[in-house]
């Protein structure tokens, strides 16, 4: 995949994040396979529930679904497979999402920002040779995302 295509998909992940009603962090995800977007998602509450993602203290509610999980769930409702796909996510995956992405057999995960102190998901992806991020971060030109956390 060409660098300008990677930037495009990360830009689209950023746009997906803007669809979230979450105040603490709006996270977006795009799943790409063979130059086609096969799924996308953003963090939020399950369909039919109140779109409030945080409690009165600003803490994420336990029912909030992460962007990567939303994209993978959406993909299960199609005939497409995530095997060999590339994932673009605006914030590095947590350990649960990293495990789900590994189980989904994606080939690469790109992220634009890292949440301080939360590297377990990244370490999991590195152990499984699926993480491609900081080397491409400047190509995405999303360094401003680093200030979110």
User: What pLDDT digit, counting tens, does each position of 47-99 carry?
Assistant: 888 889 999 998 989 999 999 999 999 999 999 999 999 999 999 999 999 99
For residue 124, pLDDT over 60 is answered with yes
pTM: 0.85
What is the per-residue pLDDT for 127? 84
For residue 42, pLDDT over 90 is answered with yes
Task: Give the count of beta carbons closer than 10 Å to the beta carbon of residue 96.
Answer: 14
User: What value does the mean pLDDT of the chain take?
Assistant: 85
Q: Active-site residues: which are they?
A: 68
**Contact yes or no for 82/33 (Cβ under 8 A):** yes
Percent of the residues in the chain that have a pLDDT greater than 90, as a whole number: 64
- Report, as an integer, the average pLDDT of 100-117: 89
Distances (CA, A) of 30 to 57, 62, 79, 81, 109: 30, 23, 17, 14, 10
Percent of the residues in the chain that have a pLDDT greater than 70, as a whole number: 87
Instruction: Tell me how far apart the alpha carbons of residues 14 and 5 are, in angstroms, rounded to a whole number.
Output: 14
For residue 141, pLDDT over 50 is answered with no
Q: Are strands 108-113 and 36-42 parallel, antiparallel or unpaired?
A: unpaired
């Amino acid at each position: 995949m060409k660098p300008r295509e990677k930037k495009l998909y990360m830009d689209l992940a950023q746009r997906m994040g803007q669809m979230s009603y979450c105040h603490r962090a709006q996270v977006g995800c795009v799943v790409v396979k063979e130059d086609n977007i096969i799924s996308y998602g953003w963090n939020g509450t399950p369909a039919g529930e109140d779109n409030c993602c945080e409690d009165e203290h600003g803490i994420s509610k336990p029912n909030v679904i992460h962007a990567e999980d939303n994209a993978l769930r959406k993909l299960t409702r199609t005939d497409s497979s995530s095997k060999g796909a590339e994932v673009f996510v605006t914030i590095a995956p947590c350990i649960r999402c990293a495990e789900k992405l590994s189980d989904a057999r994606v080939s690469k995960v790109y992220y634009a920002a890292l949440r301080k102190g939360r590297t377990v998901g990244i370490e999991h992806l590195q152990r499984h040779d699926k993480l491609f991020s900081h080397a491409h971060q400047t190509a995405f030109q999303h360094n401003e995302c680093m200030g979110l956390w």
